[in-house]
């Protein structure tokens, strides 16, 4: 009895530490139980479902994931340091994780993770841990050779989790590939100039493909944080059916 009490206390302390440094988690119902969405920071988040834990673009060191189960899957979108953080990957317990990444990212992974990587090009699909994953093109417009995010290098992703379709935009603008998405239940949409798109373009793109729930994320740009309240207002003025969820992705701000 005493041992169980100590274990419960340790778990509570770990959970409180994780909650203190990260925004509070949300849940979305699926056909196989709840999907928990835990924002970490900027482009980093954790999805937990059916005893599976998925890390998206993990950054911030191991301390950012205290109290969170080690990953079963890691999704990586691009080569830049706010998406591919090699030091964080080295610090985390990743030996049992399948890593899904575009080739440009997989080529830069530590050697051990290269052995665990499934390489997806834009438009390709895989099923890992009973979760279908499709790579969606992410890139800047217009398509210039010197763009920070050229077409074909990085991936956004659509995951089918318990019958719910989850879209992770990665670093992109309102491309035809984004605007043509269908039946998206939860979308994570970037908006930070000059790297991706502004609030107006993000709202316009979201109104085209109409996800049921949308999270603005990755919204710290060269001149600070994007106006996500204005994004919410712009979306809901045209469509009250889209639920815009605003979370604190920048706890130090």
Please state, in angstroms and rounded to a whole number, the distance separating the CA atoms of residues 116 and 215.
29
Residue 5, pLDDT score: 39
Q: Which long-range contacts (CB under 8 A, 24 or more apart) does 229-238 make?
A: 230/199, 231/191, 231/199, 231/202, 231/203, 234/199, 234/200, 234/203, 235/203, 235/206, 235/207, 238/207
Nearest C-alpha neighbor of 45 from the set 16, 24, 29, 20? 24
Nearest C-alpha neighbor of 155 from the set 141, 144, 169, 143? 169
Residue 253, pLDDT score: 64
Q: Strands 117-119, 125-128: parallel, antiparallel or unpaired by DSSP?
A: unpaired
Residues 6+ apart with CB under 8 A from 9: none
Please state, in angstroms and rounded to a whole number, the distance separating the CA atoms of residues 141 and 53.
33
Judged by phi (left if over 0) then psi (alpha if -120 to 50, else beta), residue 6 lies in alpha
Judged by phi (left if over 0) then psi (alpha if -120 to 50, else beta), residue 130 lies in left
Please state, in angstroms and rounded to a whole number, the distance separating the CA atoms of residues 157 and 134.
6
Residue 76, pLDDT score: 98
Structure tokens at 212: 């049921």
Residue 14, pLDDT score: 45
Please state, in angstroms and rounded to a whole number, the distance separating the CA atoms of residues 193 and 227.
12
Q: Is the dihedral of CA 140, 39, 166, 126 positive or negative?
A: positive
Residue 143, pLDDT score: 83
Element (H, E) at 98: strand 98-101
Query: For the whole prediction, is pTM greater than 0.85?
Result: yes
Residue 35, pLDDT score: 98
Nearest C-alpha neighbor of 235 from the set 193, 202, 192? 202
The CATH number given to 25-244 is 3.60.15.10
Residue 177, pLDDT score: 98
Residue 21, pLDDT score: 57
pLDDT in tens, 98-121: 999 999 999 999 999 999 999 999
Residues 6+ apart with CB under 8 A from 86: 108, 109, 110
pLDDT in tens, 187-199: 999 999 999 999 9
Task: Give Cα separations from 118 to 80, 103, 125, 127, 134 (angstroms).
Answer: 19, 9, 10, 10, 12
Residue 20, pLDDT score: 42
Residues of the chain with pLDDT below 70 are 1-21, 253
Structure tokens at 217: 């994320």
């Amino acid at each position: 009895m005493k041992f169980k009490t100590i274990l419960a206390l340790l778990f509570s302390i770990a959970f409180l530490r994780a909650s203190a440094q990260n925004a509070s988690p949300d849940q979305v119902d699926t056909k196989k139980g709840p999907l928990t969405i835990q924002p970490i920071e900027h482009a980093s988040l954790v999805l937990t479902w059916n005893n599976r834990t998925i890390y998206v673009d993990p950054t911030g060191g191991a301390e950012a994931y205290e109290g969170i189960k080690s990953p079963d899957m890691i999704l990586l979108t691009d080569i830049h340091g706010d998406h591919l953080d090699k030091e964080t990957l080295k610090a985390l317990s990743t030996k049992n994780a399948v890593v899904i990444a575009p080739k440009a990212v997989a080529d830069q992974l530590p050697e051990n993770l290269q052995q665990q990587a499934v390489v997806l090009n834009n438009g390709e699909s895989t099923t890992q841990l009973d979760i279908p994953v499709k790579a969606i093109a992410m890139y800047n417009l217009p398509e210039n050779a010197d763009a920070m995010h050229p077409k074909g290098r990085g991936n956004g992703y659509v995951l089918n989790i318990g019958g719910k379709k989850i879209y992770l935009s990665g670093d992109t603008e309102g491309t035809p590939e984004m605007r043509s998405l269908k039946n998206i239940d939860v979308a994570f949409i970037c908006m930070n100039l000059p790297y991706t798109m502004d609030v107006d373009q993000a709202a316009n793109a979201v109104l085209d493909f109409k996800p049921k729930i949308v999270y603005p994320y990755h919204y710290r740009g060269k001149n600070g944080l994007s106006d996500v309240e204005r994004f919410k207002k712009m979306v809901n003025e045209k469509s009250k059916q889209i639920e815009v969820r605003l979370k604190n992705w920048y706890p130090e701000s």
